[in-house]
Amino acid sequence: MKKVFSNTDEVIHVFAQQTQSEGRNSTRNIFFEGKKIYSYGYHYLLGEFINNGKSIVINDKGYSVTTSKHIGKLAYATNHYKQFYLTNIDIDNVYNEIAKDLINLGRARKPQIYLDSIFSLFNQLNEWIDYTKANKIKHKYLVKKSTRKYIELKNIVKELKENYSTFLSNLKETQKIAKETKRKKEIEQLKTALDKFNSYKTNFFRIGNFDYLRLSKDNTKVETSQGVKIEISEAKKLYLAIQNKIDIVGYKLGYYTINNINSKSLKAGCHNICIKNIGQIGNKLLTL
């Protein structure tokens, strides 16, 4: 019995025929043993026949280019069997994907896209649950309809189908409250971080959208909250140019180039410095 095949396609197609118990290609980046086929080692179970070989579970969680190709080839080679995809039967993944769709649904111009996605995900999960129950299949990703996450998803789908407008209104309000709560929390965190930064208790932080500046302890440099240091003379020269409304886009400051400046921030490389803070530090520079 031939066990080493010339290419990936041949390995996958032989596995799909279920006529022998093992096989691999010469580099062993694809191989099968019994009802299971692996991509690049035992750590990645690519596919597994279940229910006496009548159906297959395909692991479509792979992210590498080659593994993605393996997934596609296996899906094609086994399309004559009942197929289930791991992303659709793993309730944790389904739960997280529906949660993302709900966020998008609250701000979508075309909500039907996200409604269709939610209903499809839930229907495929139900198909898996009903199939495993009807065929008495034992599997790692077996789902019971009594679990908390399933009940939550069931209620969400029911509410969407029966009273979409009310659900959407409640969802938007919930998202609005969550956004405001997050904003207030960031303000408090930023205040604490700035206090530590300005008292030299920390040299690095990033909260929110902006970076910040301070004068070094010896007043010879301007320091950023990303740990970069600029000579006072260079910083003062730049600030005077800003004050005099000179176009500074493209201006070189040490290793950094000024990419953009507006009423809210100055962008230089990975830095997005708060314009109000620039004014505060700039006024101190003019006194030195």
Q: Which of residues 48 and 168 earns the better pLDDT score?
A: 48
Q: Are 215 and 281 in contact (CB under 8 A)?
A: yes
Report the range of poorest mean pLDDT among 40-49, 59-68, 77-86.
59-68
- C-alpha torsion angle, residues 118, 122, 123, 124 (rounded to 10): 110
Q: Is 158 helix (H, G, I), strand (E, B) or coil?
A: helix
pLDDT band at 255 (very low <50, low <70, confident <90, very high): low
The rounded mean pLDDT for the chain is 91
Compute the distance between CA of residue 121 and CA of residue 114 in angstroms, rounded to an integer. Answer: 11
Please write the tens of the pLDDT for every residue from 97-127: 999 999 898 787 788 889 889 999 999 999 9
Please write the tens of the pLDDT for every residue from 120-171: 999 999 999 999 999 999 999 999 999 999 999 999 999 888 877 777 777 7
- pTM score above 0.75: no
Neighbouring residues of 245: CB distance < 8 A, sequence distance ≥ 6:
none
Task: 121-125: list long-range contacts, CB under 8 Å, 24+ apart.
Answer: 121/88, 121/94, 121/97, 122/94, 122/98, 122/153, 122/154, 122/157, 124/85, 124/88, 124/89, 124/94, 125/88, 125/89, 125/91, 125/94, 125/150, 125/153
Position 178 scores a pLDDT of 84
Report the range of poorest mean pLDDT among 22-36, 42-56, 61-75, 136-150.
61-75
Which amino acid would we find at residue 219?
Answer: N
